[in-house]
Structure 1
Amino acid sequence: MPTRPAPRPRSAATGPVVGLVVLVGALAACSGPGPGDKDVEYDSLDALHRAATSAGLTCLSFTTESTDSEDVELGACDDTTLLAVFADGIAEDEFLALLPRQPTEEGEAALAGPNWVVLGDTGDLLETQAGIGGQFLTDE
């Protein structure tokens, strides 16, 4: 009758090490830009829209808006939130001037990255910022 080799004893540290590797991998896969990370650029309005809604921005109805400028692509979510992606070479201090409206209402803000702005409710943008990064613009 053939005999099987005796099983090798498993090291006590193998289980926790494997668990730690899996945890670190999962966290790395889920991590994205965070508040203040401004280096995330979007190559299109659709890409910004997808990222913002994936990050929690409520957008039941998304429509593109016409603009007279080739320097900006505009879109609106539910007629309350404005999304904009700017052409290369447009400086951040020019962003708000290219928008059809400004964050003038109480509770409204503009969240900006290197080539984009989302203008809408401050509370909604705080949640969205956690997923897409950016910083809040001020009118100073």
Structure 2
Amino acid sequence: MKKLLTTLFLSAIVALGAEVKTITDMTGNEVKIPAKTQKIAALWHANNQVILVLGGADKIVTTTDQIKKNKWFAKIYPRIAEVPAALNGNDIQIEELVKLAPDVVIVSNKNFQENLTKNGFSAANLIFR
């Protein structure tokens, strides 16, 4: 049921004429995302900081507990305290992601990416190499 709802939601976005572009993530996978990404699920702590430095912190709709506890991040971007954490350790909260409807989910491992893609999300593995 969750997968169906997610798929329907993402299909509706495309059906409404939203422009889509294809990116290639760090593992070589092609990922389709909206041309104008507005909502980012940043499920890897290191990429939260990259997004912040690049000026995209306001697009983060979910993060990790590790970032929420990071004093430096909280000092630079206090609003992070209000952003929910859809990743707790190795546990992705799929229901939370469905509710937040991110345009892209940034992850750091293959298992997360496969699980999210299977559930209808655009997941990009941006692990540094």
Output the TM-score relative to the length of structure 2. 0.31
Mark the structure with the bigger radius of gyration.
1
Higher relative helix content: 2
Output the TM-score relative to the length of structure 1. 0.30
